Every structure is written in C-alpha cells, then in structure tokens.
C-alpha cells in the first residue's frame, strides 16, 4: 500500500479522510481525490444531473414540500431540462425512506405491449436484427413515468399536481439556457434529430446543433405537461397523448395499442435488503436486478479486508471483480419480472450461496468467465438519470428513470414533444445474444406481452444503526450496479467522503464479456500488470455513470451532497 504524500497529508488535516488517500491509485488520482469535497447542507439536499432541476427541488422543499413532493417536481423538471434521460416517455424505480423508518419501492418500469413476442427482434432465420430493438417503434415499451410520479404524489406527497408540475411547464414554455454539459449530450445525436422534422424543429436550432448560451424552448412538451397537470394520468393513458403515441406507432410499424395504455399499472413492493458489516443496504427488487446483484456481491465480499487492502490495490480489484463476475452470472440467468418468473432472491442472498461462491475464488488467479455458470442447486424458478433527495424531516427519495439510450429511439410521436424509450432492448432478444450493454441473458428475461424488461437501475438507500446514512444511484446500463456498489464501498470500506467516492475512477466486471472495464486513473501500470499476470483482461473506457448521491454524516449531522464530475451540468444544492 502506498504511503500518503506530504500534500495528501495536508489535505487529510483539512478534513479529508487519510484512509481514502492511502491507496495504490496513481498519484494524480490521489491528488484529485484529496481536493474533492461534497456540498454541505444542514436541513435538506437535492442532487440531480441538471442544475435547474436541482434548484426546482430545493425550492419545493423550502416551500414546505417533503422529499416525495420534491421528487415529483424534479422528475418532471428533468423531463424538460435533461431530455436525453429525464422523461415522461420512459419509466423507472423510486425508493422512498419515510421519517418513521419505513422503506418502500415503487416500480414504474415500462411494460411490453400486448402484441410483443419472444422472437420479435429476430428474422426468419433466428438472427437478431439489432436496430429493431433500439431504433424503431417496436423498441418502445409502455411508459410508466407519469403514473409513477402521480402514484408517489397521491400516496406520500403533500402538494397539488399544479404546484409540482408548474416549474417544469414554465421551463418548457419559456426555455432555458444551455450550458456546455447540456450541449455535450445534445450533440451526441444531432444527426438523428435531423432525420425527423418534428424532432429537428425542437432539438435543432434552424437545422443546426444548439450551442452554449442558446435557449432551448419546448412549447409542444409544455402543452403535453399542461394536459397531464390538468387531467392527471388519464390524459396520458386514456386520452389525447396515448392516442397520438398509438397513431405514430401504427404509422411506423410499432405494436402499441390503446388497450396497452389502459392496462398499464405501477406497483408498490417490498425493497430488497441485506447487511454488510454494520450497514443495511435497501434497494430495488425485480424487475430491477440492481438490489439483488449489489447485495449478492456484498455478501460475497463481506469477510474480505478491503479497508486494509485499499482502493485500487491488486487484492481489492481482483476480489471485487471475482465477486461481480459470479453475481452477474446469477443475475443474467435467474432474474426477470416477478409477475412472470419466480426470482430465487432468498437463495441468491443466502450465507450458504455466498460461501459456496467465495470458495471458488482464488487469491492469486482470475477465474475465466467461461468456467462460471449461474448454477443454483434448485431452480426456483448511454441513458438514464438518477436523483437523490433528503428533506428536513428525515424523509428521503432515490429515483432512477430512463428512456434507455440517450434520447431513446430518437423519435417523438407527432407534436407530443417528448422522446420515446427503447426499453424493449433490455429484454433477451435471443438467449445467449448480448444486448446493448453486452449483457448475455436467458429465458427468465424473454419478451412476453405485458412483461417488464429486467433492469439494472438501482436507486439505493443505506442505513447505519437504524438511521438513514446514504442515498445513491446512477445511470449506465449494466454498470449502474457496480457504480452503486462502489459509491457505497468507497465510503464504507475505503474511507472516502461522498464527493471522493462519486469522483473516484471506477471498475466494472459483468461476467460476460470476460473483461474488467476501468476508467483512467484507477490502476497504476504496475498494479495492472500484476492483475494481468493473474489472468484478468482489461478494457479502458473514458468514463461512465453519473452517481448523484447524498451522505448523512453521523458525526456532524450534515448532509453531504455529491454531483458526479461526469455530469458537469448537474448540481448538489441544499439549505
């Protein structure tokens, strides 16, 4: 383990944990982490991937709303100011922590249309035709966001739909000034925007990509949001909005019907929870794979002395990768929508299963993924956005929602003004054939009418000594699971503060492909060489994920908000 340099020691004295910096990570990474401090607030905090949405949330909290009110307002605001990812054309998951200690899970994931079938993305020879599940109206699942946000508001909110939606309607109608972070995201799909006149009219500036300082106005979306504000989910699922979506779907060879919208429902359910040392992780159950996979990985890791090995060390990287390899093999084999398959959650999270998997991990050698299978003894069976909110009364909300790719299928139905998801690609198009996130999945996640595709979204709460300690989550497809894991472990095991944890270069291993993905700055050449000698394969990618997290510091009682450096338009704000 490398010793602290003199400058790091100075930062440590300034309040940054020395354990966080006592790692083998490259010196430049340690120096950057030494400077990373979270935003502090005494009462309440909102962290989201777009600053205007965070400000909307803080204002709702200051006006007396609770965390659920703020989550509804931030959700709608993100649909306007973060149109790649925030949405009303997609779905997601909400974790709620109530001040009385209750933890709840709300599932507003999209459902497959009634005409969907297991082989719909294959041609007559059984070959998967990729663009069908990502770029066409056949890729669209029935959106859940509008019903989800309303279900949360009605059950636990205190404010009217008008109070919570007006900020989003105003931002859409009056427009907002684009910053570099917004422009970076918009420019990723300028060519696609140009293909559809109704999209180009909104998301291109007279046919040209928007630039920093331009104002983006979305009058069509303002109108759609006003209809929802006035008539509630009825407008979306049984009224003019569903009608426009179905007409566009028919015109473009999609499967959506009015009946699909009328049949759509959201679901409150029990979260998944597990212990790691003196922490309790409370996260999303299926149709999310997130909570189960984070928990299974932590159950395997529990006895290993990660805190002694340190962040970025050979032993930590090796052991975390081996645990992830095994947990993802189970994820991809067993998990699916609980309305359709029996998820063996108790078995996957049992001490016996963790012990059995641990016994196959060698200290000094990588196990090839080809040798790992999801093999329970009994068969029981780049885009998204996350925001975290804690209010002054002790309620908290953790939401991840998505239209899958940045801007989903890149198409908008008529003049509804919002992008449609391509969530159908999260299903298994064919067992053994990877989806867009390289996930090689099985039958449990095959396409069926009315089924929800298995998700990796993992909005998560962590308790310590019975009290709320962390609220976290991220986009990033399959990498969401390991980003959430690192968000937690970087603080719990490696002693980082919340901002260091969010900023620290990441790693990701998902069983197949048999590679550890790394961000620059995680490994020194020497550590990497040693891990390669042990049989690990590496693929460096510039960056992924956008962890928007809050830590409630038990020592000071202060809220530590951390916007991910990878989302420069995001903001942690509180009061």
Task: Pick the stretch among 203-211, 361-369, 473-481, 556-564 that binds ligand DON (CB under 6 A).
Answer: 473-481
Per DSSP, 229 falls in state H
CA within 13 Å, CB half, 288: 38
Q: Figure out which of the listed residues 23, 50, 224, 455 binds ligand DON, where binding follows CB under 6 A.
A: 455
Angle at 557 between CA 551 and CA 562, to 5 degrees: 25
Phi, psi values for residue 120, rounded to 5°: -65, -20
Nearest approach, Cβ of residue 148 and ligand DON (Å): 14
Nearest approach, Cβ of residue 453 and ligand DON (Å): 7
User: Total residues at the site for ligand DON (CB under 6 A)?
Assistant: 14
Q: Does 456 bind ligand DON (CB under 6 A)?
A: yes
Phi, psi values for residue 263, rounded to 5°: -80, -15
d(CA 72, CA 94): 10
Nearest approach, Cβ of residue 404 and ligand DON (Å): 4
Quick one: CA dihedral 61, 66, 67, 68, positive or negative? negative
Q: Does 404 bind ligand DON (CB under 6 A)?
A: yes
Per DSSP, 452 falls in state P
Nearer to ligand DON, 475 or 495 (CB): 475
Task: Pick the stretch among 300-308, 376-384, 460-468, 509-517 that binds ligand DON (CB under 6 A).
Answer: 376-384
Q: Does 475 bind ligand DON (CB under 6 A)?
A: yes
Residues in the chain: 575
Please answer whether residues 478 and 438 qualify as being in contact, where contact means their C-beta atoms are separated by less than 8 angstroms.
yes
Nearer to ligand DON, 361 or 509 (CB): 509
Q: Figure out which of the listed residues 113, 233, 285, 477 binds ligand DON, where binding follows CB under 6 A.
A: 477
Nearer to ligand DON, 296 or 423 (CB): 423
SS3 223: helix
The 3-state secondary structure of 17-84 reads CHHHHCCCCCHHHHHHHHCCCCEEECCCEEEECCHHHHHHHHHHHHCCCCHHHHHHHHHHHHHHHCCC
Q: Does 570 bind ligand DON (CB under 6 A)?
A: no
Strand partners, 472: 460
Say whether 224 is catalytic.
no
Task: Pick the stretch among 151-159, 185-193, 472-480, 512-520 that binds ligand DON (CB under 6 A).
Answer: 472-480
Q: Does 516 bind ligand DON (CB under 6 A)?
A: no
Task: Pick the stretch among 135-143, 336-344, 449-457, 530-538 that binds ligand DON (CB under 6 A).
Answer: 449-457
Q: Does 402 bind ligand DON (CB under 6 A)?
A: yes
Catalytic residue, chosen from 24, 293, 297, 384, is 384
> What number of other Cβ atoms are within 10 A of residue 162's Cβ?
11
Q: Figure out which of the listed residues 260, 426, 448, 560 binds ligand DON, where binding follows CB under 6 A.
A: 426
Q: Which residue has the tokens 């972070």?
A: 181
Q: Does 457 bind ligand DON (CB under 6 A)?
A: yes
Per DSSP, 420 falls in state P
Q: Figure out which of the listed residues 248, 255, 329, 480 binds ligand DON, where binding follows CB under 6 A.
A: 480
Q: Does 150 bind ligand DON (CB under 6 A)?
A: no
Q: Does 384 bind ligand DON (CB under 6 A)?
A: yes
In this structure, what token pair is assigned to residue 115?
């005409």
CA within 13 Å, CB half, 63: 15
Please answer whether residues 91 and 109 qualify as being in contact, where contact means their C-beta atoms are separated by less than 8 angstroms.
yes
Residues at the interface with ligand DON (CB under 6 A): 382-384, 402, 404, 423, 426, 455-457, 475-477, 480
Catalytic amino acids?
A: 384
């Amino acid at each position: 383990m490398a010793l602290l340099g003199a400058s790091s020691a100075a930062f440590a004295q300034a309040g940054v944990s020395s354990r966080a910096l006592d790692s083998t990570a490259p010196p430049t990474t340690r120096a950057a982490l030494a400077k990373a401090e979270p935003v502090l607030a005494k009462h309440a905090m909102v962290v989201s991937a777009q600053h205007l949405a965070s400000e909307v949330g803080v204002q709702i909290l200051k006006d007396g709303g609770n965390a659920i009110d703020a989550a509804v307002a931030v959700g709608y605001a993100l649909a306007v100011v973060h149109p790649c990812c925030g949405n009303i054309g997609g779905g997601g998951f909400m974790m709620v922590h109530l001040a009385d200690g209750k933890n709840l899970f709300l599932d507003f994931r999209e459902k497959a249309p009634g005409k969907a079938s297991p082989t719909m993305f294959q041609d007559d020879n059984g070959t998967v035709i990729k663009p069908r599940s990502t770029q066409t109206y056949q890729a669209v699942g029935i959106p859940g966001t509008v019903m989800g946000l309303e279900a949360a508001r009605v059950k636990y909110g205190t404010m009217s739909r008008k109070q919570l939606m007006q900020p989003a309607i105003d931002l859409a109608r009056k427009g907002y000034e684009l910053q570099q972070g917004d422009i970076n995201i918009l420019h990723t799909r300028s060519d696609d925007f140009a293909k559809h006149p109704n999209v180009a009219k909104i998301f291109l500036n007279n046919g040209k990509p928007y630039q920093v300082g331009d104002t983006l106005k979305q009058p069509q979306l303002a109108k759609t949001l006003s209809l929802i504000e006035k008539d509630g989910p009825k407008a979306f699922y049984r009224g003019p909005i569903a009608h426009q979506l179905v007409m566009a779907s028919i015109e473009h060879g999609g499967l959506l019907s009015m009946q699909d919208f009328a049949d759509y429902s959201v679901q409150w359910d029990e979260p998944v929870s597990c212990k790691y040392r003196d922490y309790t992780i409370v996260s999303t159950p299926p149709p999310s794979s997130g909570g189960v996979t984070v928990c299974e990985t932590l159950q395997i890791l529990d006895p290993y002395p990660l805190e002694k090995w340190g962040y970025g060390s050979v032993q930590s990287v090796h052991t975390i990768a081996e645990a992830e390899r095994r947990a993802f093999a189970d994820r991809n084999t067993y998990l699916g929508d609980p309305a359709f398959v029996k998820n063996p959650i108790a078995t996957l999270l049992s001490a016996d299963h963790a012990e059995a998997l641990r016994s196959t991990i060698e200290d000094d050698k990588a196990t090839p993924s080809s040798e790992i299978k999801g093999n329970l003894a009994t068969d029981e069976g780049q885009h998204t956005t996350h925001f975290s909110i804690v209010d002054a009364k002790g309620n908290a909300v953790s939401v991840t929602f998505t239209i899958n790719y940045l801007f989903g299928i890149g198409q908008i139905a008529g003049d509804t003004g919002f992008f449609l998801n391509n969530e159908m690609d999260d299903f298994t198009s064919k067992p053994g054939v990877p989806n867009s996130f390289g996930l090689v999945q099985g039958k449990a996640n095959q396409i069926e009418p009315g089924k929800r595709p298995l998700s990796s979204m993992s909005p998560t709460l962590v308790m310590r000594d019975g009290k709320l300690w962390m609220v976290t989550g991220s986009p990033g497809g399959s990498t969401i699971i390991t980003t959430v894991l690192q968000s937690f472990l970087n603080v719990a095991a490696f002693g980082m503060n919340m901002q260091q944890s969010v900023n620290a270069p990441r790693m990701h291993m998902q069983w197949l492909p048999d590679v550890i993905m790394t961000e620059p700055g995680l490994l020194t050449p020497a550590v990497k060489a040693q891990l390669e000698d042990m049989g690990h394969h590496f693929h460096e990618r510039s960056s992924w994920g956008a962890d928007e997290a809050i830590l409630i510091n038990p020592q000071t009682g202060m809220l530590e908000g951390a916007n991910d450096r990878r989302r420069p338009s995001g903001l942690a704000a509180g009061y």
